[in-house]
Amino acid sequence: MLLRASIVMLVMLNLGAAGWWAFRPEARRAAPAADAAKSLRLLEESSPPMPAIATQSAIPPAPASPAPAATPTQATADVPAAPVCLRFGPFADAAAREVARATLQGIGAQATAHDVPARGVRGWKVFLPAQPSREAAQALAEKLKASGISDLFVMAQGEDANSIALGRFSSEAGARHRQTELQGKGVQARVEPIGGTPAQAWLDARLPANADRVALAKLAPAQPLDCARLR
């Protein structure tokens, strides 16, 4: 009886020890970790390999260097510069225009006289320009009379004051004849129309491209002219 009780007691002690060993806290904590490691390993093994990133294909190719612009070929022969055409005037008279024409021809220019006739005039006068004072005009008049020119008159008022009138004519031809007569006696008289638009003496010139414009401006007032209009 005592032996049987001892065997039963021993069996129960073994069962209790085995149960404690199986259900101790360390064993319960280790089991989930083992399961997690197993599942992690299985996930890593089951995942397909990631494709390699083609780093070289992601970078766009550098653009090709642009070809240098073609430089236009320099002309083998220089293009001559176009001439310049100007209209000079109006001049005081034909004599002044001839002086300017000689100067222009001296620099290689082609100069052509251009006349605009008087329009609507009432007559023509021959005269000497106004003198600095009344006394100077009277003195010049006495000098002219002494040289045989008696048909004259000293203007006393108006825009012609202190000038010396040497004749008045209905036509330009008569006035020019009187002017020539006085020039023969050494008197440089002028001829101008009375009223209307006086005649104008111009000079049309074709100038070299390298002509000195500053020097030419001293000859007479000038304005641009179409070269096609030159005769």
Q: What pLDDT is recorded for position 131?
A: 95
**Span 174-200, average pLDDT:** 91
Would you list the domain boundaries of the chain?
Answer: 81-117+199-231, 120-197
Average pLDDT for 176-194 = 93
Asked which of 9-23, 118-132, 193-207 is least confident by mean pLDDT, the reply is 9-23
Determine the length of the chain: 231
Residue 155 CA, distance from chain mean position = 54
Residue-wise pLDDT tens digits, 158-171: 889 999 999 999 99
Q: What is the reported pTM?
A: 0.44
Mean pLDDT for 21-40 is 52
CA 141 vs. chain centroid, Å, equals: 58
CATH class of 81-117+199-231: alpha beta
Domain 120-197: CATH superfamily, name plus number? Sporulation related repeat (3.30.70.1070)
